[in-house]
Structures are given as structure tokens and as C-alpha cells.
Copies of this chain bind each other. A is one copy, B any other.
Amino acid sequence: MTRQQLVDQIFSKRSYLCVGLDTDNTKIPKHLLSTSDPVFEFNKQIIDATGDLCVSYKINTAFYEALGARGWESLEKTVNYIPHKHFKIADAKRGDIGNTSSQYARAFFDTLNFDAVTVTPYMGEDSIKPFLEYEGKWAIVLGLTSNGGARDFELQKFVTKTDSLDEGIHIEKHDVRFLYEMVLEKVSRWGSPDNLMFVIGATQPHEFDNIRQITPQHFYLVPGVGAQGGSLKEISEKAMINGTSTNAQCGILVNASRSIIYASDKENFAEEARNAAAQYQREMSSYL
């Protein structure tokens, strides 16, 4: 999917909602457990109920892998069931040496028909580039994540020293930057706003101005509203790309998982999921 197709969909639906299918077979309504594939049956009903309110679905691979090959089958059926127009994200946090990352890209872009994969940056350029080599596909690289552990490395400070000469005088300049800033700066040079997004947690609003300065044109995938406590209002105000009315970009996809898909554990779970998604969509419409 191209950036323009995604932007068009956002403004036609007046929504930048991504519904996270973190489908846990111990949490889905009991009456589904007698079906042949409860995880897929659950996802199918969630997708049917929310499709017109969201622009994207995000499949968290961990929950499917926890069920083994059977779970991987439910994942395949789910990605094939998602309507063509939706932006399909494999939230897989993959990344390895080049020849292995190429296999992951093949897994999610060729074998499965995802539009995007989340990628972890620790191993550097050759671990990320294979995900950027597919026409119309996207890498969504971890920038500043929503969890408490973001403090351990992402928010650690680097000091970089640059030397220069100014009218013959030696100038030594020290820049202090967080690791996540270095990640945004470097990784954004390896791709473009047309094939690269960043994961930026909704629980880090104090950093949003700074993040937008470093990567003014990139889309962000923003988890952390709902169950993790981030504010949709705050991140929408701070993280959107400011465009003119004829060139509005939005620039964010906000993910909600548990607060939508587990809105109810009763037989009417899909209806309640729709109600929760509709609340997000109405609020998003007012910020666009």
C-alpha cells in the first residue's frame, strides 16, 4: 500500500485507528471455544464489526506462535480475511543479520500478504534494509516504545563529539542525545517516509515535539492508548503532521488492542468491540 492510499483512507473514514488483534485464546468468549478455529472465528467477527471504523489491523504474532503451527494457521487465515483496503501490520519485532532478515521479509511480505512489519533496530542497517526492498511494503522500526523498559536503553543518553575549524580555531562540540533519537536519525536515512514508519509509544508525550522535529514526515505507529494509559487527545495534538487542508497527512496510526477486542467477553463481544472502536473513531474525527 502506498502512503497516499493510506492517507486517502484515513480522511475518507475520518479515522486513524489500528485495531490490534492480540488474540489470546484464554480470553476469548467461551461460546467460541467449540468452533474448529476459535482464534480465527473471534478475529473474523471483530473484523466484520470494526472494518468501517479503522484503517488498519495489527496482528501480534506472539499470541499466535503461543499456539504453535495451529496458531500460525489462524494467523494466515486472519490476514487473508482482512479486507484488501486495510493496512495490514505484522507486529513481530523482527530483525537479524541480513540473510536472516531477508527470510523474515519473505515470510511477511511474500508468503503472507502483510503491508508492514515491525522491526527492532539493535543490530543496525543490514538487519533493517531487507524489509525496505519490497515495493509498496513498509518497515515500522521501534523508536521510543510505550513500556517501562524504554528507560533502560532507549532513554539512555549518548554524548557525541564533533570537531570542526572556525576561522582557524578548533571547535569541539558535544551533543547529548537519547539512544532512541540516534535510532530515528540513522534509520530515517536508510528508508524514506514512503516505506518507513516508527513505533512511538503514546505513554511518552513529553518527547513528541522532539520526535516530530527529527522525523518531520514519517508516519508513526502509536501503541499505548487504552490498557497502557496513553491519551489519544495529547498524542493527536502533538504527533500529527501539520499539513494544509489540501495536503493533510495525519501521520499517525493509533493502535488499540485490549480496550477494543476485549470490551466484552459475552456473546455480544463483537457489538461491544464495535462500540469501543466507534468511540475512538469519533474522537479521531474531531482531531483530523
Contacts and interface: CB of A to CB of B under 8 A. Distances in A.
Nearest to A157: B158
Interface string A56-96: 00001011011111011101100000000000000101111
A107 B66 contact: yes
Interface stretch (A8-16, A45-53, A123-131, A230-238): A123-131
Given A65-B103, A66-B103, A122 B120 contact: yes
A196 to B, nearest CB: 15
A150 B67 CA distance: 33
Interface in A179-193: 179, 182-183, 186
B65 A107 contact: yes
Interface stretch (A139-147, A163-171, A210-218, A278-286): A139-147
A68 B111 contact: yes
A243 interface: no
Nearest to A62: B103
A72 B73 CA distance: 9
A69 B60 contact: no
Contacts of A60: 96, 100, 103
Nearest to A22: B100
B153 A124 contact: yes
A149 B101 CA distance: 12
A112 interface: yes
Contacts of A158: 156-159
Contact of A149 (B123, B145, B156, B157): B123
A251 interface: no
A68 B62 contact: no
Contact of A153 (B66, B68, B147, B179): B179
A194 interface: no
Given A68-B72, A156-B158, A120 B93 contact: yes
Given A68-B111, A124-B148, 7 more contacts: A72-B72, A97-B146, A97-B149, A97-B228, A120-B122, A125-B148, A156-B179
6 contacts: A66-B103, A124-B150, A124-B151, A124-B154, A125-B148, A126-B148
Top 9 A-B pairs ranked by shortest CB distance?
A124-B149, A124-B152, A159-B159, A62-B103, A65-B107, A97-B147, A72-B72, A69-B72, A126-B149
